[in-house]
Amino acid sequence: MKSFVLAFAGFTLLLPAVVPTVQAQQNLNPIRAYREAHEAPIINELVALLAIPNVASDKVNIRKNAAKIMAMMQQRGITTKLLEGNGPPVVFGEVKTPGATRTIALYAHYDGQAVDPSKWADAPFTPTLRDQPLDAGGKAIPFPKAGEKFNPEWRIYARSASDDKSPIVAMMIALDALKAANISLSCNLKFLFEGEEEAGSTHLEELVTRHKELLKADVWLCADGPVHQTRKQLLYFGVRGVVTMTMTVYGANRGLHSGHYGNWSPNPAMRLAKLLASMKDDNGRVLVAGFYDDVVPLGVEEKKALQAMPHTDAELMREYGLAAVDGAGRTLAELINEPSLNLDGIRSEYVGSESRTIIPAEATATLDLRLVKGIDPRKQVERVIAHIKKQGYFVTTSEPDQATRLKYPLIARLNSGDGYPAVRTPMNLPIAQKLIAAVEKAMGYKPVLAPTLGGSVPLYIIERATNAPQIGLPTVNHDNNQHSANENLRLQNFWDGIEIFAEVMAMRW
Ligand SMILES: [Zn+2]
């Protein structure tokens, strides 16, 4: 609070040198003006939160994070509640607006991915300011003091700077700025800050289901993920679901000498390669029967949005060293709206200098199946199993015994996870249109609209429990090293996030 006052004093003192005209003062965005006058204390608050280690399995520190966020919310008059289950607590908050009939709920997560400090340039929980991205030679610089300016291209390096603590702070600052500018909220607000998203949201479903009355809202906004690679603001209206499966195929019940038994004993690595190759054509189209059935087609709005998305395929191909890609000429953005079958990896015997001249006993592959709206995870796994059977395999879920091995020439052991389904909110819903307009107003340009985000986030959990539309409103930079070492936040994205959240909280609908 002290630095708050100082910042104000600094601003006031500076004013005479840069007195804006009355006209300019009227045009000034009050949210931006608030931020510009308080940059140092705003960053201090973010830095204090980033300094608390937040790996979901670190029970002590995860609670410190939750307590800190509760305090930040209470300081702003938000009614808070810790939702307790068997995992890290969920921080819930609520702002009731007199006379409001609608409720916007905002989601973010306060836990982060595990860290390997040896791979970081700075300690991951000692937030460090750099004047440029590290890979462009960015140097560590001191944090400016109250009243001093921050260059918007500077970056803060720390775990969860982008994924996903800064959106939480941006929401809080948006509330401060609205209050300072005397702009009233247009609706009730609810906040849900999860503490184990990076650990798979294992306990979220139970908590959300138990508190579904409390979590009722007209729309849920998910402040997770990055903006578009062009640095343009992005809204996503769906996320893919996912389910994984691991398969093992067998040869003889032990590795056999390739000289003595080659040409005679079947090779499971070859069999697996052939089985996998049977699943896709040369364009990457999946050949498993029914794989694309049940997909809910994109609507008119979604198709228009796809057309309007910036085309970055050629740049991405250059960046990733690809002379050709799958998809028979269709764009990446388009292909993300289809289910996919990906081979995560294959393992059999040793290779290279470690290899030995044997026929392996078995070979294993793991697949991930990304799902889009309409596809049931279980059913998609069943389709792949049916395909494997069609190739002549006996499919089992356990290690085959000798009797099974003697009975079936081709055996595949298959195990799959439960997975979860995709979510897609129609873009033509009135609330979706309002939100697009609010973001456009805040940024001064049309945001990129993605019908589906490529990655998988279990938004279905909240959708299923609350029956409310789910829309993604990410704010952080795409080049933030999310999940790996040297995670960072570009300040301009943080500043934009504050203005976007403020606009959304005050939008009329
Ligand atoms: Zn995240």
- The CATH number for 241-295+338-416, chosen from 3.40.50.1400, 3.40.50.150, 1.10.3720.10, 3.30.70.360, is 3.30.70.360
Q: 413: which strand partners?
A: 248, 396
Q: How far is the CA of 225 from the centre of ligand 1 (A)?
A: 6
pLDDT at position 238 is 94
Q: How far is the CA of 328 from the centre of ligand 1 (A)?
A: 32
Q: What confidence tens digit (pLDDT) does each residue in 34-88 have?
A: 999 999 999 999 999 999 999 999 999 999 999 999 999 999 999 999 999 999 9
pLDDT at position 123 is 97
Q: How far is the CA of 112 from the centre of ligand 1 (A)?
A: 7
pLDDT at position 454 is 85
Ranges assigned E (strand) in 241-377? 241-250, 256-257, 340-347, 358-359, 362-371
Q: How far is the CA of 470 from the centre of ligand 1 (A)?
A: 16
What are the residues whose beta carbons fall under 8 Å from the beta carbon of 354, sequence distance 6 or more?
none
Report the run of H or E that residue 37 belongs to, with start and end.
helix 30-37
| Token duo for residue 236 | 């996503």
- The CATH number for 2-239+423-506, chosen from 3.40.630.10, 1.10.3430.10, 3.30.1330.60, 3.10.290.10, is 3.40.630.10
Q: 346: which strand partners?
A: 365
Q: How far is the CA of 451 from the centre of ligand 1 (A)?
A: 19
- pTM for this predicted structure: 0.86
pLDDT at position 8 is 30
Residue 215's SS3 state is coil
Long-range contacts of 400-406 (CB under 8 A, 24+ apart): 400/250, 402/253, 405/250, 405/253
Domain boundaries, the chain: 2-239+423-506, 241-295+338-416
What is the rounded distance in angstroms from the CA atom of residue 349 to the CA atom of residue 354?
9
What are the residues whose beta carbons fall under 8 Å from the beta carbon of 80, sequence distance 6 or more?
70, 73, 74, 91, 92, 93, 94
Q: What confidence tens digit (pLDDT) does each residue in 37-52 have?
A: 999 999 999 999 999 9
pLDDT at position 27 is 55
Are 50 and 163 spatial neighbours (Cβ–Cβ below 8 Å)? no
Q: How far is the CA of 201 from the centre of ligand 1 (A)?
A: 11
| Token duo for residue 454 | 């490529």
Q: How far is the CA of 480 from the centre of ligand 1 (A)?
A: 12
Q: How far is the CA of 354 from the centre of ligand 1 (A)?
A: 39
Q: Residues of the chain whose pLDDT is less than 70?
A: 1-27
